[in-house]
Amino acid sequence: MVAQELSVTYWETRRTLSEDILQHVPPTAVLWCSDEARFHLSGTVNKQNFRYWAENNPRDLHQRPLHNPRVTVWCAVSRLGVVGPYPFEEGGETVTVTSNRYCEMLKNFLQPRLEEFDDSEDVWFQQDGATAHTARRSLGILREIFPSRLVSLGGDIGWPGAHPI
């Protein structure tokens, strides 16, 4: 069953951080919003990143096979377009997103793709608080690419991860 309630504290934190983004990221800036998701090749959907906004618990039951083929992909979107998808694979097999793999993607995939877009000084990057995203090395690379323009847990403008369970 999927049923989580957003606490008042969490709601206020999200609201405050959203207001920070509106105050500090200029309206003319490019904001790249990024994340990765796991897709099950059987058609089953990973419910981890979904939120249902409802007055009452829908009492939905979601069943899926224990082991089925899947792929994990990352992408970033902005008003300029889409960068990605980037599959996290090694040797044709899906792998876990670790800080080393995330850093490799940032340097060898994201950075070259960004050069294909507008080279504005006002380009920002947003990510959630996943451990691979907020590792020292990952944040260091992102600070080189987006100096003083990082929206992230531990970034120039804070942003939390997914809703705490």
Mean pLDDT of 33-38: 91
Task: Report the alpha-carbon distance of residue 134 to residue 138 in Å, rounded.
Answer: 6
- Map out the domains of the chain as residue ranges: 8-35+75-86+95-151
Q: Give the pLDDT score at 161.
A: 64
* pLDDT for the residue 7: 74
Q: How much of the chain is in helix, strand and coil states, percent to nearest 5?
A: 30, 25, 50
Give the contacts of 113 (CB within 8 A, at least 6 positions apart).
Answer: 83, 84
* pTM score: 0.78
Tokens encoding 109: 């995939």
Alpha helices in 2-55 (DSSP H): 8-24
Question: Residue 46: its pLDDT value, please?
Answer: 56
- What's residue 11's pLDDT? 81
Q: What percent of the chain has pLDDT over 90?
A: 53
